[in-house]
Structure 1
Amino acid sequence: MIAQVVPVLFAFGANLGDRGETILAAQAELAATPGISDLRASPMRETVALTLEGPDPDAPRYLNAVAAAETVLSPHELLDVMQGIEQRHGRTRDLRWGDRTLDIDLILYGGRVVQDDRLTVPHPRAHERDFVLAPWLDLDPDAVLMGHGRVDRLLAALGDTTSPFDPGVSDAGADRCADGGAARA
């Protein structure tokens, strides 16, 4: 049986450590995974940390990106790959929406809906997150979020609080911020 090739969209976020290098390494690991091909990444964008209580300007800032790819893996096989990459990069799941070295979300899996105790696709909050929509729009100006419409219209309605990230600027400030220092990007 020939496996079906499915377009997918991943979202990446990190606010601890060398955020940019971690996201680039995670993207490279996904691209090198058997069953994943044609990974195309967006430019990275920076945002204020979002916690359960709302935006937290005192927390280390997040770096975010998205990547489109094609896969023959099932949604749950992808989830296992993503979680393995997160763990290799020091991800812990101590606090919901807490600081993290790496977060990888599966935003879309073709036109398929998945909803079980491990995975929900399309991602249930992607339409509310400028840090997903803005880099996605950078990658694909004609993007459409299944069930919600055009990404450019969603972002315009939501507002864009992200800013472009210059990879030439040192990312060491993220660690200093986590330690309570005054450095902010």
Structure 2
Amino acid sequence: MVSLTKDPYPVLVSPLPTAADAMPATLDLFLASVGPRAFRFAEAGLRHRDDALDAVQDSLMRMLDYRDKPADEWPPLFWSILRRRVIDLQRRRRFRLPFWRDNVDAEGEPVDWADQGPGPAEVHAQHEQYETLVQALRQLPARQREAFTLRVLQDLDGATTARAMGCSEGAVKTHLSRARDALQTLMENPT
């Protein structure tokens, strides 16, 4: 099974994939490479670490049914499965819980996502940037948030993003443009 706790600290932008990373040879390698990015996507949409882990794990398990599909179909298929799982969990939560659970520990303190590798000032700055981005993403409509996350943060191409979202490439461009404009405004003037 793929471990999602390998990369517990979020980063703003994932590194650009190399040619070797573009299409893993086996489904297991693909699932191992997509796990941490998928967690960040799910966590941004669900705003709860445990729910995000569950959504990603369910999506990874469902991908095993598509082992015989061609490798170039795995990314859009996986992101579609994960997107639908996140939406399903959001709908269930709205029905059962009228509020969003925040990432807090047992004492009610916010969970610290910062990587302790670099110096304290750099860690703090990265944490603040990430929190600002997450807060801004939470204020976007769902389709804009999905387009931005898949296209920019996950570095998927326009066609793959369109297939994952179930819309045209033109719609992805529109959602992405609106998301960038809104994020620019929100991040310049955080509330």
User: TM-score scaled by structure 2?
Assistant: 0.31
Structure with the higher fraction of residues in strand conformation: 1
- Which of the two has greater helix per residue? 2
